[in-house]
Amino acid sequence: MAVVMCVIAVKVVVVAAAAGTDGDEMDVEFDIGLTPGKNAVHYPSYDKVVHSVSTMDKLWTDYLVDGVDDFSSVLAPGARLNLFGVEGIGREAADAYVASVRAQLVEPGARVQRVFTRIKDMRVSLGHFEATHLALWRSKAGGFEWVASSLLGRARLDGKIEEYSIVTDIHNIRELFETMNGYMAGDEVAKRLMLALQARDPAMAEPLLTDNVSMVVPGFPDFSGKDAVLAYIAGVDGELMVEATHVWSSATSERHPIAPRRIGPHKWSIIWDSFHLLKGGCYTYTGGLLVVDLDARNKVTFVNNYIDFEVLAMRTAKCQFLLQQKNDDNAAGAAGGGDLEHAEL
């Protein structure tokens, strides 16, 4: 069996023998094999890999925005690319990625103005590289979005790239193009609808809804169409058959807000609590879950506002019983000359 010797390129610092002189950086290849031979494998130096990766990062962003490229200077023939899920070979992959970006910029005038990138924590091992990639995308309309990704691939001995991939969570890509198209973020839509319900403010909710939006509330016929949903929002107190309703959620907390939870590609949820004032000054409370479905433009198409009416009904009955008991005690006290008007429940 032939023994293969491996040679690794690393960066070392050579320190001059003379006292007080500075060390010079240089690239050095050294053997990790057992026996030298013609089958020795060589790998590019760290600096070569870093230079190639940095150059490639600038090339694809310039090509996306300005259409300028020189991929042949950094890509090996047949190099495999994966740009945020768009895969292919060399320049063809870059063309496919640019086409995919333009296809997702659907609003009039939507355009990527510039992409600023930063590569951090680069690691290189036997020609393979891995790093953290951070990009700031700016839209023509002035919006911006951060996209955090992982960068990985492989370079050959001369430093030219044979494999190059930038990968990220698919939700990051959706949020990116929401911003580039000028749409409100999905979590912000859900939060504002929650605020509109809390404030019983149909004017706040109106721009968030599609014309054919529908809404489901336990115990009531489905609300169909924007006008019906807005009427419900305006009359929450009447729907709950109480004098006043105070609703809040962690998503709308001023001090420690918690973002709405994404439970699907186009679906968000918010847990909320509420206190209800009945006649006679008695309070009861319940809770619920707001689930919001969005379309491709992040407009609300469906709302499921789950309210725990069984708990509310039981607590309301208890509240009414205590009120009745208070009234009976007051009546008895009045008959006997006492005053129990302000007795605690």
Examine residue 344 and state whether it is found in any structural domain, yes or no: no
Q: What is the pLDDT of residue 244?
A: 66
Q: How many CA atoms lie within 13 A of 95 on its CB side?
A: 4
Which of 287, 233, 294 shows the shortest CA–CA distance to 263?
A: 294
Same domain, 199 and 327: yes
Q: Which regions in the chain score pLDDT beneath 50? A: 1-36, 340-345
Using CA atoms, how far apart are residues 239 and 94, in angstroms rounded to an integer? 56
Same domain, 174 and 301: no
90 phi and psi angles, rounded to 5 deg:
50, -135
Same domain, 321 and 191: yes
Same domain, 63 and 105: yes
Same domain, 159 and 215: no
CATH code, domain carrying 203? 3.10.450.50
Which of 99, 93, 91 shows the shortest CA–CA distance to 74?
A: 91
Percent of the chain residues topping a pLDDT of 90: 56
Q: What is the pLDDT of residue 285?
A: 76
Work out how many domains the chain is built from and give that number: 3
DSSP 145-204: EEEEEEEEEEE-TTS-EEEEEEE--HHHHHHHHHHHTTPPPHHHHHHHHHHHHHHT-HHH
> pTM for the whole thing?
0.70
Residues 240-265: tens digit of each pLDDT: 556 666 777 878 888 888 889 999 98
- The CB density around residue 247, as the number of other CB atoms within 10 Å, is 22
Same domain, 114 and 60: yes
Residue numbers of the domain that contains 23: 6-42
Examine residue 345 and state whether it is found in any structural domain, yes or no: no
Residues 83-95: tens digit of each pLDDT: 999 999 999 999 9
Q: What is the pLDDT of residue 340?
A: 44
Q: What is the pLDDT of residue 312?
A: 73
